[in-house]
């Protein structure tokens, strides 16, 4: 098990946050929700909403587990269905990357149905990032600063070297793949060839995952500024003063970005006007928010290091509900239709009702959760820093429903 997690070692250094916001001005949130049944990136889609549709129930049925020997996972999974070129049959695959105890990177392709390994790809150093999947290619960076393109059979297509480790999960914009590096730059590469297109340099590290909405991105960090970047040119078009750093990836809902910071303040920022709509302050102070928000109609759900899971109203910031879990919540919650899936640092997975926050189910797993759940094709995939990948499904049964230990 990696100790301490590299993602949070870096918090003792100066942090930079990547915030990507839509400038589309859509009036209906339903129009901005993803339509793909796949979960292709860290928060499921380009807008980082952490939302998926699907049939739900009040309990989960654990299905299978996969173990990485002598290592762990601090990242999340991508889940994609493709057609097998040889048989023409649909093939559903989990892609997840981790690191071994000797700090080498392992990217795995697992069969979604039973967890059997299809292939693995190894790098010189560990992976803290979630792969983004686009047209049969996977893109992700490692802790040595190598950024890879790997095809769906596990063969490396190209690599690009930055100056230092990559904690930022990538995203796709048109023919570009975008990612941040701790050398302080947002990179844009040709996704087909790996050829350098442009980079936007900030004053310190970039750790957050990349959120893309329309043709703009937001970058913020140690200078307590929110920078608006035009993704077609790589040029900054404006900025907003912030009160503190954050490592959470924002969720984009129309023109608005939602995210928390290290001081425990949660923000709603309007991308079009570059003004703050509202904030929710941590009453005690010091309880940072490292979890990224999940968004649905009437709800912005986010976890915090004070052990609480919150739902805020998107328009007003008024608290819909909050519930206290058994440990800190650095993992980012997922909303599936009318249910919330959340994971805490002590290895507990929770299922809650979206409307009122009522706890429906919980279970203790091996290790701790810093990586976040993913949901697609009816499966929940979540991994621990002790090296386990778990698969669960919503079940029309009371099995494990009363497992509250």
d(CA 207, CA 251): 16
CATH architecture of the domain covering 6-394? 7 Propeller (2.130)
Lowest mean pLDDT among 5-19, 79-93, 295-309: 5-19
Mean pLDDT (the chain) is 87
Residue 6, phi then psi, degrees to nearest 5: -60, -35
Instruction: Give the CA angle between residues 346, 351, 353 to the nearest 5°.
Output: 140
Are 205 and 15 in contact, with CB atoms under 8 Å apart? Answer: yes
pLDDT at residue 213 tops 90:
no
pLDDT, mean of residues 293-310: 96
pLDDT of residue 4: 41
pLDDT of residue 207: 81
Could you give the percent of the chain with pLDDT greater than 70? 87
d(CA 368, CA 160): 32
Lowest mean pLDDT among 29-43, 172-186, 245-259, 361-375: 29-43
pLDDT at residue 349 tops 80:
yes
pLDDT, mean of residues 13-39: 48
pLDDT, mean of residues 295-319: 96
Lowest mean pLDDT among 6-10, 249-253, 309-313, 341-345: 6-10
Output 41 or 219, whichever has higher pLDDT.
Answer: 41
pLDDT at residue 49 tops 60:
yes
Q: Is 31 helix (H, G, I), strand (E, B) or coil?
A: helix
pLDDT of residue 18: 40
pLDDT at residue 353 tops 70:
yes
pLDDT of residue 33: 59
Q: What is the pTM of this model?
A: 0.90
pLDDT at residue 169 tops 80:
yes
pLDDT, mean of residues 374-392: 97
Q: At 323, list the tokens.
A: 């519930």
Output 199 or 397, whichever has higher pLDDT.
Answer: 199
pLDDT of residue 285: 63
pLDDT, mean of residues 156-178: 94
pLDDT of residue 222: 59
- Per residue in 137-161, pLDDT (tens digit) is 999 999 999 999 999 999 999 999 9
pLDDT of residue 389: 98
pLDDT of residue 204: 77
- Per residue in 329-339, pLDDT (tens digit) is 999 999 999 99
* Residues near 176 by beta carbon (within 8 Å), at least 6 away in sequence: 188, 189, 190, 191, 197, 231
pLDDT of residue 243: 80
**How many CA atoms, within 13 angstroms, populate the side-chain half-sphere of residue 17?**
33
Please name which of 23, 6, 50 lies closest in space to residue 251, comparing C-alpha atoms.
50
- The residue written with tokens 């928010």 in the block is 289
Instruction: Give the model's confidence band at 13: pLDDT under 50 very low, under 70 low, under 90 confident, else very high.
Output: very low
Residue 159, strand partner residues? 148
pLDDT of residue 6: 43
pLDDT of residue 30: 39
- The residue written with tokens 């309990």 in the block is 59
């Amino acid at each position: 098990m990696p100790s301490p997690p590299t993602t949070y070692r870096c918090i003792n250094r100066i942090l930079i946050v990547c915030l990507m916001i839509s400038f589309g001005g859509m009036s209906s949130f339903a129009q901005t929700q993803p339509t793909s049944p796949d979960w292709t990136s860290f928060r499921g889609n380009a807008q980082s909403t952490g939302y998926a549709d699907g049939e739900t129930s009040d309990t989960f049925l654990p299905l299978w587990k996969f173990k990485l020997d002598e290592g762990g996972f601090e990242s999340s999974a991508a889940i994609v269905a493709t057609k097998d070129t040889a048989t023409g049959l649909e093939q559903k695959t989990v892609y997840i990357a981790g690191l071994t105890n000797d700090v080498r990177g392992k990217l795995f392709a697992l069969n979604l149905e039973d967890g059997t390994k299809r292939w693995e790809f190894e790098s010189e150093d560990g992976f803290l990032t979630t792969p983004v999947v686009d047209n049969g290619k996977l893109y992700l960076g490692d802790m040595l600063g190598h950024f890879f393109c790997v095809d769906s059979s596990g063969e490396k297509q190209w690599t690009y070297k930055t100056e230092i480790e990559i904690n930022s999960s990538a995203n796709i914009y048109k023919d570009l793949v975008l990612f941040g590096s701790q050398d302080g730059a947002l990179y844009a590469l040709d996704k087909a060839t790996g050829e350098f297109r442009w980079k936007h340099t900030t004053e310190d590290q970039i750790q957050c995952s990349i959120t893309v909405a329309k043709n703009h991105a937001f970058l913020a960090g140690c200078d307590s500024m929110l920078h608006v970047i035009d993704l077609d040119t790589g040029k900054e078009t404006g900025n907003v003063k912030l009160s503190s750093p954050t490592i959470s990836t924002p969720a984009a809902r129309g023109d608005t970005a939602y995210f928390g910071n290290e001081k425990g303040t949660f923000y709603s920022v309007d991308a079009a006007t570059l003004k703050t709509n509202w904030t929710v302050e941590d009453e005690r102070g010091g309880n940072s928010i490292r979890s990224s928000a999940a968004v649905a109609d009437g709800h912005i759900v986010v976890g915090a290091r004070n052990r609480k899971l919150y739902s805020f109203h998107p328009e007003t910031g008024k608290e819909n509900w909050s519930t206290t879990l058994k440990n800190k919540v650095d993992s980012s919650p997922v909303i599936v239709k009318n249910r919330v899936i959340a994971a805490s640092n002590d290895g507990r997975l929770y299922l809650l009702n979206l409307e009122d926050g009522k706890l429906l189910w919980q279970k203790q797993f091996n290790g701790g959760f810093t990586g976040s759940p993913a949901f697609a094709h009816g499966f929940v995939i979540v991994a621990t820093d002790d090296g386990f990948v778990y698969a669960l499904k919503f079940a029309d049964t009371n099995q494990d429903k009363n497992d509250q230990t």
